[in-house]
Chain A
Amino acid sequence: MYDSGKIIPGLIIFVLFITIPIWYNHGDAGDAPKPELPKDAKNCVLPVEDIRANHMQLLNTWRDEVLRDGERGSFELDGKQYQKSLMLTCMECHTSKKKFCDTCHDYASVKPYCWDCHIAPVE
């Protein structure tokens, strides 16, 4: 190979350059988000693991039950009645969208469109 002395280091520099994002951030996933949990409520509508993984499905189920099937009945949790509602149930305990919803959503770079229409608590 002609000019291998130039080409091989050049290739190595090129590969290192285009993989900057990989080795520069290696082993550093950023600080895990720490959503602020409500102080006065102990239990969520589902166990922690479930609600963390499946809250979006739950919200969709609630939406379909309430709107499509007209099942607006409430459910009981720790002796209190709750409605199937994002604005009136979830945000009743999680009083801050910024400190709760947004922490994980920003971290995971997901942009749910809930708040295009639903009204977030005043902060």
Chain B
Amino acid sequence: MDKKRRDFLKVAGISTLAGLGGTAVVDRLVSGSSPAAANASGAAQEAHGVEPKAHAPATAPTGKRYGMIVDTRKFQHDPSLGEKVEQACITAHNVPQFPEKKDDIKWIWMTDYENCFTEKSLLYKDEATEDHQVPVLCNHCDNPPCVRACPTKATFKNKDGLVIMDFHRCIGCRFCMAACPYGMRSFNWRNPRPFIKEINKHFPTRMRGVVEKCNFCAERIGVGEMPACVEACGNTKAMVFGDLNDPHSEIRKLLKENYTIQRKPSLGTHPSVFYIV
């Protein structure tokens, strides 16, 4: 019996060693071939257009990234501009106007400075900031948290860097609303159809149970027009829209000439909407 136990322990010990050593050898073999595998997956990623950037902005960006500059001073000069911009968006996208605030659907709207820039210290506000509001809209982030949250890929980033929605796919889970740090998304708690004042036949409505938000007028940009809000500003240049990746675009020129701020930059979402304050 004694003898047998010894034999058992020997065999067990040797096989344990062999097992450990064996896995180490296998690991070594696998890691030896892994760089090639990593390259292959990297190449596949690139082929699919998934940019692993975020951490590597050193390489020159390719493709378009649409963005916007909002000149809040212009909105202070002309207080009617805010209303114009809101209305242009409402008519362009069949945005419903519900009587109750809790049902509100909003794509672009005017809000107080402290609601827009929650990270800015505001112990003593200047008069202009106190008296005026700033327009807020979807930031079309370069690193959009809503896209990551969406389980159906209803919200996605298109090839021009616009964060847009495919309403057909939206299941109304509202993960995107929880993910958006700016609160730029609205949910259709009720059927919006009867609450649309003026039907625009060039854009669909939404149905109950669907989230919606600003789409930077993807349907207008696609055919070479400017977003409705930018158009509503006319020649005031209160809102300027353009390609952030094009160094010669008007928006880049303005960014070079003016001190601009983004909303909640510390979150790392890389918003594409800039504000001149």
Residues on A lying within 8 angstroms of B by beta carbon are 63, 66-70, 72, 87-88, 113, 116-119
Question: Nearest A residue to B206 by beta-carbon distance?
Answer: A117
Which residues of A have CB within 8 Å of B201? Answer: 87-88, 119
Which residues of A have CB within 8 Å of B9? Answer: none
Which residues of B have CB within 8 Å of A113? Answer: 207
Which residues of B have CB within 8 Å of A87? Answer: 201-202, 204
Which residues of B have CB within 8 Å of A69? Answer: 159
Contact between chains at A70 and B207 (CB < 8 Å):
no
Min distance, Cβ A123 to any Cβ of chain B, angstroms: 14
Contact with A along B225-240 (1 / 0, CB 8 A): 0000000000000000
Tell me the complex Cα distance, A66–B222, Å: 9
With contact pairs A70-B218, A72-B222, A87-B201 given, residues A117 and B167 touching in the complex (Cβ less than 8 Å) = yes
- Interface size class for chain B? 20 to 34
Contact between chains at B205 and A117 (CB < 8 Å):
yes
CB of B83 closer than 8 Å to a CB of A: no
Contact between chains at B168 and A119 (CB < 8 Å):
no
With contact pairs A63-B168, A117-B167, A119-B199 given, residues A68 and B156 touching in the complex (Cβ less than 8 Å) = yes
Tell me the complex Cα distance, A118–B193, Å: 10
Contact between chains at B223 and A72 (CB < 8 Å):
yes
Contact between chains at B168 and A70 (CB < 8 Å):
no
Contact between chains at A119 and B164 (CB < 8 Å):
no
CB of B7 closer than 8 Å to a CB of A: no
Question: Nearest A residue to B64 by beta-carbon distance?
Answer: A70
